[in-house]
Amino acid sequence: MKRISLTQYLIEEQRQHSNISSELRLLIEVVARACKTISHSVGKGALGDVLGTAGSENVQGEVQKKLDVISNQILLEANEWGGHLAAMASEEMETIHPIPNRYPKGEYLLLFDPLDGSSNIDVNVSIGTIFSVLKAPDGTTTPKEEHFLQPGAKQVVAGYALYGPQTVLVLTTGNGVHSFTLDREMGAWVMTQRDMQIPADTKEFAINASNARHWYPPVKRYVDEMLAGTTGPRGKDFNMRWIASMVADVHRILNRGGIFMYPADAREPDKPGKLRLMYEANPMAMLVEQAGGVATNGEQRILDIQPEKLHQRVAVFLGSKNEVELVTGYHQ
């Protein structure tokens, strides 16, 4: 495969499909640059005094790590001044972040989970940044929360950066899923995988098994059948993988198949799940669908859900088509 830069890919994509305006290209490049900066902070670890908690809580009531706060700030500051955004929203902040009046406004809305998998920061396990881009409704002069409440099917870009042994940026603009590796010497994003595809069948599943006693019957049935192996109803052995960092789990699935599940359970019956629809489920669902996989909340396609609030939670089943369809069928 010919190695091309992120910029070259975006320019060629615009020539071919006319789907990336210069404003959108700038947005993607600025987010990618911010992810480089976050990668640098993550890589320093204890040497950069970025480990441990920040002594604060986010809007979800979760204790923030220092890197959560740093990453959030990096993304806000990088994207404020370029003139490509109308407003931003972050999983770490209660409400939207308008673009300061001293800067020009653009027509896009950016949502992000600045650092996914925070519980893994201090133990040097892969973490990442997830982002999603929507178009502000026509005629929006002062963006409000409700302008962000668009179904995931309306996303124009979705992607994530994974900070692991290599730093990678995985991206879709609606024409397949492509992966770029950060060349640390050059400081450049170089395309290393084109048109990633998730196999329809798999022998791997990812779920937090410590919650098994709280699962609802469809999930319990599905997992029990997999655990029964070759002698059970599925007639084959399955492996379980669980990194507790959605970015890392989804990256594995995009590379070799599998199913990732974070279901609702009986611990908090009033909550429809734990993962956030706008910052995690929607961008990951777009990537998974673009790679030939399926993403549901157990009942419907995630990208069809009409969001009602900025920090809405949702159950998530995503990955290899045949497995996601099977467990979704058990719910119905």
Tell me if 91 is assigned to a ligand binding site.
yes
| pLDDT above 90 (res 157) | yes
Identify the pLDDT of residue 269. 92
| Close Cβ partners of 184 (under 8 Å, ≥ 6 residues apart) | 167
What are the angstrom distances between the C-alpha of 118 and each of 51, 87, 136, 272, 289? 10, 25, 30, 22, 26
**Residue 29 marked as a ligand binder:** no
Per-residue pLDDT tens digits for 83-135: 999 999 999 999 999 999 999 999 999 999 999 998 898 899 999 999 999 99
Residues 186-234 have pLDDT tens digits of: 999 999 999 999 999 999 999 999 999 999 999 999 999 999 999 999 9
Given a contact cutoff of 8 angstroms between Cβ atoms, the answer to whether 70 and 51 are in contact is no
* Residue 274 annotated in ligand binding: yes
pLDDT tens profile 130-143: 999 999 998 888 89
Domain ranges of the chain: 6-193, 204-331
| Domain 6-193 in this protein, CATH class | alpha beta
- Residue 183 confidence (pLDDT): 97
pTM: 0.97
CATH class of segment(s) 204-331:
alpha beta
Mean pLDDT of the chain: 95
* pLDDT-above-90 percentage for the chain: 89
Is 118 annotated as ligand-binding?
Answer: yes
With cut-offs at 50, 70 and 90, classify the pLDDT of residue 52: confident
Distance CA 198, CA 257 (A): 5
Q: Is 304 annotated as a binding residue?
A: no
Looking at residue 113, what is its pLDDT?
97
Whether 115 has a binding-site annotation, put simply, is yes
Q: Is the pLDDT of residue 254 over 90?
A: yes
Please check the confidence at residue 61 and state whether its pLDDT lies above 90. no
116 known ligand binder: yes
Q: Are 310 and 148 in contact (CB under 8 A)?
A: yes
pLDDT digits (tens, 9 = 90+) for 62-73: 778 899 999 999
Q: Is 128 annotated as a binding residue?
A: no
More confident residue, 242 or 48: 242
Is 119 assigned a ligand-binding role in the annotation? yes
Q: Is 117 annotated as a binding residue?
A: yes
